[in-house]
């Protein structure tokens, strides 16, 4: 059975520019799914354990423990907990013009909605808010303060990148090099160690930097990218499963099929039958 808690902002002084709506925590049932659907507020899920997928802005992302994801108002999303290792997650929901302004100071977007949790505030934010809600006279102010504290931490973790001359966000040059490398060599036997040697960087530093910029570690990014390319081949070509496995870096078709199902929720053969 899934456990579920939900609390709402108590009555009090309302801030029309930034309003905390509710927060909670849930142990998801295997395969628990929301969507496709949309809401009229921002909602952030903090993944405490387990794994699952988020589909937003036409992209599917695999998300696990230590990560969080943001869903935007009036944008269609679908997210699903794994059948084998369903999520335990907490969340907060908020809205207001100030929320949009503050989130614009981060690198997050509908196409890039994932970020890493910090070590102190985010994993227990819902529990802290539940304690603050017990304050009889100033609970609303304490809770709004927690929301501002969280947004300040978010801006520090995923700050908006410096813009180039064309006005577009410019990623960290080391991460940009790594992304180009992964996109060019995803069909090879790639490891974080190999990539670190290629760019003469410490492996732990590279992993930390990559996760901070992209919201996921290099290994997870590579897996998602490979499965995205595999899905494209399944839709556009008549290549066999073995040929597609080889084309995206897997010499063992059975291993490829297992990884594809883990990321996409169905076998390569089922995916092709549904999409083609």
Report DSSP letters for the chain, one per residue.
Answer: ---EEEEEPPSS---TTSEEEEEEEEEPPTT-EEEEE--SSEEEEEEEE-EEEEEETTEEEEEETTEEEEE-TT--EEEEE-SSS--EEEEEEEESHHHHHHHTTBS--SSS-EEE--SSSGGGHHHHHHHHTT-TTTHHHHHHHHHHHHHHHHHHHSBPPPB-TTS-B---HHHHHHHHHHHHHTTS---HHHHHHHHT--HHHHHHHHHHHHSS-HHHHHHHHHHHHHHHHHHH----HHHHHHHTT-S-HHHHHHHHHHHHSS-HHHHHHHH-
Tell whether the torsion through CA atoms of 156, 78, 51 and 23 is positive or negative: positive
- Per-residue buried b or exposed e for 231-270, using 16+ beta carbons within 10 Å of the residue's own CB: bebbeeeeeebeebbbbbbbeebeebbebbbbbbbeebee
Q: Residue 212 has what pLDDT?
A: 82
Looking up tokens 């927060």 gives 23
Which tokens in the block code for residue 105?
């100071």
Is the pLDDT at 12 greater than 50? The verdict is: no
Is the pLDDT at 86 greater than 60? The verdict is: yes
Kindly report the average pLDDT of the chain as a whole number. 86
**Which residues lie across from 253 on neighbouring strands?**
none
The whole-angstrom separation of Cα 145 and Cα 58 is 34
Q: Furthest-apart CA pair in the chain: how many Å? A: 66
pLDDT digits (tens, 9 = 90+) for 98-133: 888 888 888 888 878 999 998 889 999 999 999 998
Q: Residue 171 has what pLDDT?
A: 60
Is the pLDDT at 260 greater than 70? The verdict is: yes
Is the pLDDT at 51 greater than 80? The verdict is: yes
Report pTM: 0.58
Confidence of residue 11 (pLDDT cuts 50, 70, 90): low
Q: Residue 248 has what pLDDT?
A: 94
Is the pLDDT at 93 greater than 50? The verdict is: yes
CB burial class (10 A; 0-12, 13-18, 19+) of residue 167? exposed
Identify whether the C-beta of residue 94 lies closer than 8 Å to the C-beta of residue 149. no
Q: Indicate the CATH number for domain 4-157.
A: 2.60.120.280
Looking up tokens 């969507």 gives 35
* Domain ranges across the chain: 4-157, 173-275
Q: Indicate the CATH number for domain 173-275.
A: 1.10.10.60
Q: Residue 28 has what pLDDT?
A: 94
Q: Do 4-157 and 173-275 show the same overall fold?
A: no
Task: Work out the end-to-end distance of the chain between its first and last CA atoms, rounded to an integer number of angstroms.
Answer: 36
Confidence of residue 1 (pLDDT cuts 50, 70, 90): very low
pLDDT digits (tens, 9 = 90+) for 18-32: 889 999 999 999 999
Q: Residue 2 has what pLDDT?
A: 46
pLDDT digits (tens, 9 = 90+) for 134-149: 877 888 888 999 999 9
pLDDT, greater one: 196 or 13 = 196
């Amino acid at each position: 059975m899934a456990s579920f808690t939900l609390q709402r902002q108590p009555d009090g002084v309302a801030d029309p520019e930034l309003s905390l709506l509710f927060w909670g925590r849930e142990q998801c049932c295997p395969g628990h799914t929301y969507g496709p659907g949309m809401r009229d507020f921002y909602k952030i899920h903090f993944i405490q354990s387990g794994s699952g997928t988020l589909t937003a802005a036409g992209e599917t992302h695999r998300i696990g423990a230590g990560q969080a994801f943001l869903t935007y108002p009036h944008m269609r999303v679908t997210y699903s907990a794994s059948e084998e290792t369903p999520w335990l997650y907490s969340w907060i929901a908020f809205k207001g013009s100030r929320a949009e302004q503050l989130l614009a100071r981060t690198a997050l977007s509908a196409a890039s909605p994932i970020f890493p949790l910090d070590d102190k505030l985010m994993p227990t934010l819902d529990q802290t808010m539940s304690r603050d809600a017990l304050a009889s006279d100033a609970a609303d102010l304490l809770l709004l303060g927690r929301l501002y504290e969280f947004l300040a931490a978010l801006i520090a973790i995923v700050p908006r990148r410096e813009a180039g001359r064309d006005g577009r966000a410019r990623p960290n040059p080391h991460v940009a090099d790594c992304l180009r490398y992964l996109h060019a060599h995803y069909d090879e036997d790639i490891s974080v160690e190999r990539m670190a040697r290629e760019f003469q960087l410490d492996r732990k530093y590279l992993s930390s930097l990559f996760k901070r910029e992209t919201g996921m570690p290099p290994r997870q990014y590579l897996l998602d990218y490979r499965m995205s390319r595999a899905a494209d081949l399944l839709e556009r070509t008549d290549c066999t499963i073995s040929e597609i496995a080889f084309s995206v870096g897997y010499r063992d078709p059975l291993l490829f099929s297992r990884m594809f199902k883990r990321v996409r929720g169905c076998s390569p053969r089922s995916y092709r039958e549904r999409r083609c």
